[in-house]
């Protein structure tokens, strides 16, 4: 199988990423979110996909509150039949435990994926080329493949979760920008395709 070496390496990296200590610094999470909020691309976005953080992921509480205050449409993923669907919610307080205990919105008519201007995506690890290592189910990659071509993809993580290089498979969707508490990484097109 042609992708087996990459998939085997991803399994090893997932295990290593899960073994990293959970970043417990609220200040680092706040700074990462503030760095994201300062992106000029965000000022033009009216509809954004966000997530409710799990272990090892940067909280989005500050981001959600700020974007809701700006009047942006906030959409959160919900797993339905193995795929992510997006539903509107005004804040994390409107989400309930769903698939694998992940906070999800109530199901009241999904929003079209094509309506999203910006996707803010978590990951176990990211690399400097914008590649992302998720939890292994491929939910976000499949969601992002359904997005508009001009929709912006932003990875949000702690600096300790950015590595030099991740393996890539044909179905992986890279980020346009990766934001941490220490920097904003803007991969070049050559790096994205690497």
Q: What is the CATH number of the domain that holds 54?
A: 3.40.50.10420
Banded pLDDT at 126 (limits 50, 70, 90):
very high
C-alpha radius of gyration, the chain, whole number: 16
Q: Is the pLDDT of residue 69 over 90?
A: yes
Nearest to 146 by CA among 108, 104, 115: 115
Task: Identify the burial level of 11 via C-beta atoms within 10 angstroms of its C-beta, where 0-12 means exposed, 13-18 middle and 19 or more buried.
Answer: exposed
Partners of 90 in the β-ladder: none
Banded pLDDT at 8 (limits 50, 70, 90):
confident
Domain count, the chain: 1
* pLDDT mean across residues, the chain: 89
Tens of pLDDT, residues 151-175: 999 999 999 899 999 988 888 999 9
**Rounded CA gap, 43 and 25, in Å?**
27
Evaluate whether 103 touches 83 at the Cβ level (below 8 Å).
Answer: no
- What's the mean pLDDT in 59-81? 96
Find the Cα–Cα–Cα–Cα dihedral 97, 102, 108, 110, rounded to 10°.
Answer: -170
Predicted model pTM: 0.86
Expressed as residue numbers, the domain containing 30 is 4-127+134-193
Q: Is the pLDDT of residue 99 over 80?
A: yes
Banded pLDDT at 138 (limits 50, 70, 90):
confident
Identify the residue whose tokens are 């087996």: 4
Identify the residue whose tokens are 């989400």: 95
pLDDT attached to residue 100:
87
Tens of pLDDT, residues 19-32: 656 555 788 899 99
pLDDT attached to residue 36:
98
């Amino acid at each position: 199988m042609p992708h087996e070496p990459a998939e085997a390496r991803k399994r090893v990296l997932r295990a290593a990423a899960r073994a990293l200590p959970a970043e417990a610094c609220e200040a680092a999470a706040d700074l990462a979110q503030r760095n994201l909020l300062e992106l000029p691309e965000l000022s033009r976005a009216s509809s954004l996909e966000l997530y409710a953080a799990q272990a090892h992921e940067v909280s989005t509480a500050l981001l959600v509150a700020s974007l809701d205050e700006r009047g942006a449409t906030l959409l959160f993923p919900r797993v339905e039949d193995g795929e992510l669907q997006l539903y509107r919610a005004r804040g994390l307080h409107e989400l309930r435990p769903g698939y694998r205990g992940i906070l999800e919105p109530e199901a009241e008519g999904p929003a079209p994926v094509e309506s999203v201007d910006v996707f803010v995506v978590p990951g176990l690890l990211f690399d400097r080329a914008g590649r992302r290592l998720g939890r292994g189910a491929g939910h976000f990659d499949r969601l992002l493949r359904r997005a508009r071509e001009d929709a912006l993809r932003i990875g949000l993580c702690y600096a300790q979760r950015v590595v030099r290089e991740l393996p890539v498979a044909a179905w992986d969707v890279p980020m346009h920008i990766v934001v941490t508490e220490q920097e904003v990484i803007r991969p070049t097109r050559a790096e994205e395709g690497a």
